[in-house]
Chain A
Amino acid sequence: MAKNASTEIIASDEENTGSSLFESAQETENLGPRLDPNDLFDFQPIDSDDLDSHVETSSFGQLSTDLIPQALSGVQPPELINSLGESEIAFALHEAELHQIIATLDVLFRHIPSQVRRCRLTIDSEKLVWHANHGNAFAEYISYDTHQNISPKQEVPQIVAFDFADLVAAAAATKGLGTFRIAGHESEKSIEFTSEGFSRPLALAKDPHNRKFAYPTDKRVTLLNDVKSSGFVPSDALHSALTFVGKLAAGHPNEQRFELVEVKKGTCRSISAEHAAAATSILFQSLDFSFRPHHLRLVLPALKLSPGYHFTCAKNFCVARSDHRVFGFETVEALLPEAPQANADGVVLLPRHPFMRCLSAAARTFGEENTLIEIDYENLETKKLNLRCFEREKPQRSMLFDAVCAVEGKIKSSFKSKLGFKHLFHSLRQFEASNLEMEVFERKGIGVRFTEKQAEIEYTFLCAGDKQ
Chain B
Amino acid sequence: MSAEMNSLEINANVISTAESHATEEPSASKVDTSAEGDALDAKASPSRFSNIEFTLPAKQARDAWRAVAAVNDHFCLTLSESCVRFSATNDQCLDLRCTIDPSLKPQLGSIQLSFDVETKGLAALGVIDFEGDVTFKFPDIDLSVGSTGPFNLTIADAFTVNWDYLLTSAAPALAQPHDDKTSECLEEGRLIDPRVLRALINGLRNFAAEENVTGSDFTAMRVEGGSIRAGTHGAACEIESAVIGDISFSIEKNVGRSVGTILGLLAPERTTLCVNGGFQKLSDGRLTLCLRQGGHVPKFPMLSEPFVRIHSDGFVFDEALTRIRAQIKNQKQTDQALVELLLSPNDKTLTFATAVNGGLARVKASIRAEADVVEPTSLKFFHYLLEKLDVSIQTGVEISLSPNGAMFIQKRGGESCDNEGHRTVISTRREKKPSDATLVRDPADK
Contacts and interface: CB of A to CB of B under 8 A. Distances in A.
Given A198-B364, A396-B164, A169 B356 contact: yes
A361 B330 contact: no
Contacts of B329: 169
A401 interface: yes
Contacts of A201: 356-361
Contact of A168 (B150, B323, B330): B330
B337 to A, nearest CB: 12
Interface in B348-378: 356-365
A52 B38 CA distance: 94
B361 A169 contact: yes
Interface in A148-200: 163, 165-166, 168-169, 172-173, 190, 197-200
A397 interface: yes
A400 B159 CA distance: 6
Interface string B157-171: 011111110000000
B311 to A, nearest CB: 18
A190 B357 CA distance: 11
A199 B362 contact: yes
B126 interface: yes
B327 interface: yes
A399 interface: yes
B321 to A, nearest CB: 11
A398 B332 CA distance: 47
A365 interface: yes
Interface string A209-231: 00000000000000000000000
A25 interface: no
B161 A399 contact: yes
Interface stretch (A325-333, A352-360, A416-424): A352-360
A361 B154 CA distance: 12
Q: Which size bracket describes the interface of A in this complex?
A: 20 to 34
Interface stretch (B116-124, B235-243, B415-423): B116-124
B124 A365 contact: yes
Nearest to A196: B364
Contact of A198 (B127, B158, B162, B363): B363
B interface, by DSSP: helix, strand, loop or mixed? mixed
B161 A361 contact: yes
A203 to B, nearest CB: 3
Contact of B362 (A198, A358, A398, A400): A198
Contacts of A173: 323-324, 326-327, 361, 363
A434 interface: no
Given A114-B330, A190-B358, A398 B323 contact: no
Quick one: which of B164, B358, B360 has the most chain A CB within 10 A? B358
B158 A401 contact: yes
B27 interface: no
A360 B363 CA distance: 48
A203 B162 contact: no
A284 B118 CA distance: 48
Contact of B326 (A172, A397, A400, A401): A172
A166 B160 contact: no
A115 B357 CA distance: 13
B159 A364 contact: no
Contacts of A354: 158-159
B16 interface: no
13 contacts: A114-B332, A169-B327, A173-B363, A197-B363, A197-B365, A198-B361, A198-B362, A198-B364, A202-B358, A357-B158, A361-B126, A396-B150, A399-B160
